[in-house]
Structure 1
Amino acid sequence: MPRLPHLAGIAATAVALGLLASAPASGDAPIVSQPRVVAHFAFDAGETPENIALEPDGSAELTFAFARQVANVTRHGGIRRRVTLPAVANPNTPIVHNAIVLGVARAHGGTLYVNYATGSSETGIWRISPDGGAPRQIAQLPADGLPNGLALDEQRGALYAADSVLGTVWRVPVTGGRSTAWARSTALAPVPSGTGFGVNGIKVHDGAVWASNTDRGTLLRIPVHRDGSAGTVGIRATGLDGIDDFAFTTRHGNTVLAALNGTSQVVVVRPDGSHSVVLTAQDGLSNPTSVAVRGRTVHVPSASYFAAVKDPNLLLAHLNHG
């Protein structure tokens, strides 16, 4: 396990963080209950969980950003480290200046895809076989970018990577190869005077690619045209200060649970764009980075980037309704 002596300093500008902001109003009953932390991780070892994909057995595949690892965590907190992405000499990733593993997506057959940002030619999408073996880079992305969230559309055979620095959604064939700048827009870009993190989380849902913008505090929807091209970026919710990644509560329907990193909250975002807090630091959150939902179980990893007491962890909660 690599030691990262400067991790606490790096965390101030770490991936997926937004400005600390006042919380949205919480005016209705939460849709989740029974929150409990099932696993704690080692911050000083770089075990800062950044993104999550779920396995059929209910376990979670987590990317540990600064440890450059992917680990499987069971519903009861057992931890099995799958792979470590290869070290890079003199990494120069924008903003964070370290090699970091970020978004993760899982194919039905068990193959994992992850974004790896290094500031070098290793920046891109890497494939991890379900049978083990070394991870393999299948697509390069710009070294001066920061590929953050990652989404998989198996029906179209495409991967979508959200580049927080370049304000771009990249599209890559699932088989690997050349990346295409699928969507670019001011709505995807960071604010010039902000944290530097624009488009961040990303999901494929009901014929569209949905994304978050950390600097702008927005939830976005990008239609996918019949030919696979991107439609106009639409803003579906605002006022989500420090939003990181998110998940839909049901397969159909547009209710979202979103992680607000800086304020250590998870909010429910309704189809009309209104939102309210459903989980807080009192429940165990410590700068949450992403959300995953399967059935009636909500999974929330926390990286603890800003917390005074470092407690990166994985929290589970019960989804009462969606």
Structure 2
Amino acid sequence: SRHWLDAAINHPVSDLTLVLLEVLSAQGKDEKYIIGVTERLSRLLDDSRNIAQITEVICASQAHFLYAMVPDWAITKILPLFDWNKSIEQAKRAWDGFLFWGKFSRKLITPLLRYFIISVDFIEQIDSDRYCEYLAWLTMSRYIDKPLAAKALGKVILKLNNQQRARYFSYIRLSGIKDKSYSHWVWNNVLLPLLDMRSRMIIELTAGELLAILRWVVEFTDYSAQLIEKIISFSTVKIKECYQLNRFERVDICEKYPEETAKLWIWLANSLTPGEFSNGIYGKIAKKLLGDKNISDKSKQQLKEALSRLGLSVT
């Protein structure tokens, strides 16, 4: 939810706060305007009434801007708003504003990251979906040196529950990556350590995680074979409709990596539920694989057995 942000933007004080921020944006190189705006914002933040609470939400939502314009003031007055150890209620307000209106700029990552990491312990107090979306963004960001190699973000991911982890996986978007060097970086610094970390967890892949990973295979075609090799080492829960399968009809994964795709299809059969509509797509692609001369006889036999278990025709 965005309870505090909605309350703030419907309050007259938010209009005043936003006007002050606009003045800072327009006149931010003029020292007298900087002093005037920050002094006025400080008075609002120090107010004993709900005026301070409204101002906190708006200022927290614009932390990236304030840190860029007046870093020393932001370090003193804005960043402490995100500190759960200082005040849980105040931190709830700050994160509510930031998670819906704010963003991590390159400069803001370093000072705000430690508060973001601590926030996983209070994830039930904030919007967990938005938190997972920001976590995925940080995971993919080159502004952080080897983000998943850093123990801090890895520990955050391990603390997510099944539903939150599935949401986090779903927010890792790999489509549109054209740069080969960036693809290499993503594989070595994001996907490989993430899958290795996930493999050390005892629990099976959830349906949400499985669907997200299948999308990665289709989107991240430079490393589809390596992804499949990692994926088939997991065990998964049974899932109903596997709506990601239709993506495999729209790309050339089967042609580019026929043996690997066959192994993925053999493994995937253990997760599918007989009688589901999406199994028709599974069967269609399986038959295409059976006709590929580049696939081993062993894989073809296992693929036929998989089709049989799902009640699908082999011919």
Q: TM-score, normalised by structure 1?
A: 0.22
Q: Which has the higher strand share?
A: 1
Between structure 1 and structure 2, the one with the greater Rg is: 2
Higher relative contact order (CA 8 A, sep 6+): 1
Q: TM-score, normalised by structure 2?
A: 0.22
Q: Which has the higher helix share?
A: 2
